[in-house]
Chains A and B, each alone.
Chain A
Amino acid sequence: MRATLLFVATLVVPTTGQENHGSMLLQNSIADTLNNTEWAFPLAECIHIGGFAVSIGSIALVDFRMLNLALRKEPTARILRYTELWTVVALVFVLFSGLMLFLSQTGIYLINPIFPIKMYVLGAALIYNFTIHRKVATIENPSPGLSKTVAIVSLLLWVAVVFGGIFTGFLE
C-alpha cells in the first residue's frame, strides 16, 4: 500500500524532473484551491463526514439486522437492497472528498504513521463489504453464528476506519 501511495505521489507531487507536467499542474491546482480558498478544505471535510455517516450508517443498519438488534421482521436481504444504493452513492462522495483532502497535503499524509494503516483497513473494509458481507446478507437461511460474526467483523472494520481518520489528523 505504501508503495502504491508513493507511486500515486510520484504522479501527482511536483518533482525536480520535468516528466509529469500535466499531473503536476493538476495536483498543484487542487492543492491551491483547497489551501487558498477559505471554505474549500472545510467543505471537503464536511462532505467526507456526511458521506461516511451515510455509507457506514447504512451498512451498520444491515449489521444491526444480522445481529437481530433491529428490524427483525424483515429479511436481511431486503435491508441490504434498500440501503445498498445509499451506501454506494455515499461511498463515492467519501472517496472523492478523501482524495481531495489527500491531494491538498500529499506530503503530510505520506509521512503520517497512521494514514497507510487507515488505507489498508479501508481497502479491507471495502473488499469485505462487497464480497463476504454482501454474500452472507443475501443468502436465504444463514446460520445465526455466521451472520453475527460477519456483522461484528463489518462493524469493527468500519469503526477502525473512522478511528484511523481521526488519528491521522492528530498524529501529523
Chain B
Amino acid sequence: MSIAQSLENIGFLSDFADSVLVYPIVLSIHLTDIALFGGMILMTNLRLLGLTFNSVSITQMITTLRPWKRLGGTVQICTGLLLATSEATKYAPNPYFWTKMIILALIGVHALIFRPTVYNNTEELDKSNVIPIRVKVAAILSLVLWTAMFTMGRMIAYWED
C-alpha cells in the first residue's frame, strides 16, 4: 500500500473525507482565512510599495499585523493538511498540488532572504522617506508568490488523472 493510501485510511481522515458537511466547512475556513489574512499580506505589501497607508509607519503596519498573519498561516496549514491528507491518493499524483508546495517552499525562501533587510528592519526603513528598491522587490515577489499560491490551489481541482 502506498504512503498516500495509508494516509487516507487513517480513521479520522477517511471519516473526514466521507462527511458531506465537514469537508466543505474546512474548505470554507481555508478560503475565509485567505480573505482575512491574505488581505493583510496584500495591504502590508502595498504599504511597502508606497501605494497606500503612507502616513502609517512600516513598523506599525508589520508589527501589529504579524501575530494575525501567524495565526492565519497556522489555520491555513492545519486546514490545508486536513484537506490534502484526507484525499491523499488524489493529491499525490496532482502536478498542481506539487507546484503549490514548491511555491510554499519559495515563500519560505523569500522570508529567509528578505527578513533581515526588510521585514525585521522596519525601524531603519521608517527613518527615510524613500523606500529602497530591495523593499519594493520583496513586496512584488511576495504578491506574485501569493497569487501563484491561491491560483495553484484552485487549479488542483481541475487536474484529472
Interface residues, chain A, with chain B CB atoms under 8 Å away: 42, 45-46, 49-50, 52-54, 56-61, 64, 69-74, 78, 82-83, 85-86, 155, 158-159, 162-163, 165-167, 169-170
| Complex interface: chain A residues within 8 A of B32 (CB) | 159, 162-163
Q: How distant is the Cα of A155 from the Cα of B68 in the complex, in angstroms?
A: 15
A42 to B23, CA, bound (A): 21
In the bound complex, do residue A74 and residue B154 qualify as a contact, i.e. CB atoms below 8 Å apart? no
* Cβ-defined partner of B24 (8 Å) among A52, A71, A155, A166: A166
Q: How far is the CA of A23 from the CA of B38 in the complex (A)?
A: 37
Is A50's CB under 8 angstroms from B39's CB?
no
10 interchain residue pairs of minimum CB distance: A57-B39, A56-B35, A53-B38, A170-B24, A166-B28, A163-B28, A70-B64, A162-B32, A82-B52, A82-B53
CB-CB contacts below 8 Å: B102-161 with A: 147, 150-151, 154-155, 158
CA distance A61 to B56 in the complex (A): 13
Let me know if A50 and B147 touch, CB within 8 A: yes
The distance from the CB of A42 to the nearest CB of chain B, in whole angstroms, is 6
**B155 and A42 contact, CB distance less than 8 A:** yes
Q: Give the size category of B's interface with A.
A: 20 to 34
Q: How far is the CB of A60 from chain B (nearest CB, A)?
A: 5
**Residues from chain A with Cβ under 8 Å of B38 in the complex:** 53, 57
Asked if A70 and B65 make an inter-chain contact with CB atoms under 8 angstroms apart, the answer reads yes
Q: A58-B42, A71-B65 are in contact. List 4 more A-B contacts (CB 8 A).
A: A57-B36, A74-B56, A158-B35, A169-B24
Query: What residue of chain B has the Cβ atom nearest to residue A71's Cβ?
Result: B64
B17 cross-chain contacts in A, Cβ below 8 A: none
Chain B residues lying within 8 Å of A50, measured Cβ to Cβ, are 147, 150-151
B35 near A86 with CB under 8 A, answer no
User: Which of A83, A165, A167 contacts B43 (CB under 8 A)?
Assistant: A83
Interface check B55, CB cutoff 8 A: yes
**CA A165 – CA B35 in complex, angstroms?**
13
| Chain B residues, CB < 8 A from A169 | 24
| Contact in complex: A83, B52 (CB < 8 Å) | yes
| Complex CA distance for A53 and B32, rounded to whole angstroms | 8
Q: Is the CB of A56 within 8 A of B36?
A: yes
Q: Which residues of A contact B92 (CB under 8 A)?
A: none
Q: How far is the CA of A49 from the CA of B38 in the complex (A)?
A: 11
10 chain-A/chain-B pairs, Cβ below 8 angstroms: A50-B150, A60-B40, A70-B65, A71-B64, A78-B55, A78-B56, A155-B36, A162-B32, A165-B31, A166-B28
Return the CB mask of B2-42 against A: 1 if under 8 Å, else 0. 00000000000000000010011101100110111111101
Identity of the chain A residue whose Cβ is nearest the Cβ of B35 in the assembled complex: A56
Partner of A167, one of B24, B46, B65: B24
Contact yes or no, A166 B27, CB < 8 A: yes
